[in-house]
Homo-oligomer: A and B are copies of this chain.
Amino acid sequence: MKCSKCSEKAVIKINYMGQALCEKHFRRFFKKRVRKTCKGLIKYDDKVGVAVSGGKDSGVMLHLLSKQTDPEAILIDEGIEGYRDKNVENAKKVCEELNVPLNIYSFEEEYGFRLDGLDDKNLSRGPCSYCGVLRRSLLNEKSRELGFDKLAIGHNLDDEAQTGLMNFVRGEFHRIARMGKEVGVVEEEDFVKRFKPLRRCPEKEVVTYGLLIGLDAGFDECPYVKQAYRADIRDSLNDWEEKYPGTKFSVLNSSDELAGLIEDEFRGEIKKCSECGEPCAGDICQKCSMLREIRETL
């Protein structure tokens, strides 16, 4: 298979464009798309934080952002043996190579327990529910403390299209509204503004780019992940994309358009949590109510 732009050997076939690209042209194409996605989202003097996990998406994102900005990385160690500990090592290696400061915060130090420690407790929800809320909350607090003006999150096109489709199918419009208009930037006081440089990059392209730059990254899945529903949505989206190339982009565009149309409708008043002072919808934030429940069982 030859590159559609030159006579070199192609490294990837991009069906939704009807093209194959060689390494040089693919790298150029991929970087241009990320640059375009970030356009208007970062100011020249912004201090940019990059949320890293040690996985492929955040590794690729850090590679690209470290060329354009002078970022710092932030990693949340939830305390998941055999998974996060391996990924923390990958993240350290990548940050060192790129000369990017890495700030690590752990559930253990911040909250007093590891995620592994919750597994045998008699809690009302599965570990992923607590992990999601506590990780996001810590990311926001620490990003603010570190003085980040913007925080880059490594979701790729597949993640975003799956989330958009899931939210539509389940009728979770408030979640779509929260996905943020057009470019995935949530603009709210007390929230460090988040942006998603890879949200227009299909997973396949992120993986290919990662291989081409020789990225050390974990490909393991978190042992707690039992997201059967997301997996089914992913399978359907992959089927449709195979038959109707461009479907994932189309679903992302629909979610964005919908988010833009309804964001005012679903944006509730933002109050401050009476316990921790962080932004929240009610009197006490989800993080504090979860911590309260967990601490009662410890």
Chain A residues within CB distance 8 Å of chain B: 165, 168-171, 173, 228-229, 232-233, 236, 239-240, 243-244, 247, 250-251, 253-254, 257-258, 261-262, 265
Contacts and interface: CB of A to CB of B under 8 A. Distances in A.
A261 B265 contact: yes
A253 to B, nearest CB: 5
Contacts of A265: 261
Contacts of A240: 169, 232-233, 236
A171 B253 contact: yes
Q: Is the interface of A mostly helix, strand, loop or mixed?
A: helix
Number of copies of this kind of chain in the complex? 2
A160 to B, nearest CB: 14
A135 to B, nearest CB: 26
A168 B239 contact: no
Nearest to A247: B169
Contacts of A261: 173, 261-262, 265
A250 B165 contact: no
Contacts of A165: 168-169
Contacts of A236: 236, 239-240
Contact of A239 (B171, B232, B244): B232
A249 to B, nearest CB: 9
Contacts of A243: 228, 232
Contacts of A247: 169
Contacts of A233: 240
A169 B240 CA distance: 10
B250 A170 contact: yes
Nearest to A250: B171
18 contacts: A165-B168, A168-B168, A169-B247, A169-B251, A169-B254, A170-B254, A171-B250, A171-B254, A171-B257, A173-B254, A229-B244, A232-B240, A232-B244, A233-B240, A236-B236, A236-B239, A236-B240, A261-B262
